């Protein structure tokens, strides 16, 4: 028993000293985002998203200014916009961003990379619904 425990301790020490990239659960990465929201977004089951996890909230605001706030906040956290995938209008927006270098999201399909997708829909003159999730691209 002592030999097995020693071997496991040595293996653990070796792994800690090597560059082992572990993927983080999507829900954990989403929970760690610093988004410009009046209150935290609630976690929500999302069948098609990586990790079947998303965040969802309703908040006051209009699509244009809120989109710029999100871009700025996420850029400060190392996320990079995919302009080809970004669309916006008075109806809302869809913003797609690549995670910071070294971020790996568990459950990303083989041959794809995880992209952060933020979609807002205008519910009224000054009310938005925001959904945030990871999708494989």
How would you write the pLDDT of the chain (137 residues) with one tens digit per residue?
Answer: 434 343 333 334 444 443 445 689 999 999 999 999 999 999 999 999 999 999 999 999 999 999 999 999 999 999 999 999 999 999 999 999 999 999 999 999 999 999 999 999 999 999 999 999 999 99
pLDDT at residue 16 in the model = 45
All domains in the chain, ordered by first residue: 23-136 (3.30.160)
Who's near 67: CB < 8 A, 6+ residues apart? 88, 93, 95, 120
Who's near 51: CB < 8 A, 6+ residues apart? 25, 26, 27, 105, 106, 107, 134
Give the integer Cα–Cα distance in Å for 85 and 40: 25
Minimal CA–CA distance to 66: which of 42, 97, 30, 35?
35
pLDDT at residue 34 in the model = 97
Angle at 80 between CA 99 and CA 94, to 5 degrees: 90
Give the integer Cα–Cα distance in Å for 10 and 110: 31
pLDDT at residue 54 in the model = 97
Q: What are the residues facing 43 on neighbouring strands?
A: 55
Minimal CA–CA distance to 70: which of 18, 12, 128, 137?
128
pLDDT at residue 53 in the model = 96
Which residue matches tokens 């971020």? Answer: 103
pTM, to two decimals? 0.82
DSSP 49: S
């Amino acid at each position: 028993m002592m030999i097995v425990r020693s071997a496991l301790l040595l293996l653990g020490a070796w792994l800690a000293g090597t560059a082992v990239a572990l993927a983080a659960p999507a829900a954990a990465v989403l929970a760690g985002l610093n988004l410009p929201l009046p209150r935290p977004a609630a976690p929500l089951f999302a069948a098609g998203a990586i990790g079947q996890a998303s965040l969802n909230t309703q908040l006051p605001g209009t699509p244009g200014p809120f989109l710029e706030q999100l871009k700025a906040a996420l850029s400060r956290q190392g996320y990079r916009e995919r302009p080809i995938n970004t669309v916006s209008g008075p109806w809302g927006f869809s913003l797609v961003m690549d995670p910071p270098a070294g971020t790996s999201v568990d459950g990303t399909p083989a041959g794809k990379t995880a992209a952060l997708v933020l979609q807002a829909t205008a519910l009224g003159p000054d009310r938005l619904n925001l959904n945030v999730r990871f999708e494989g691209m």
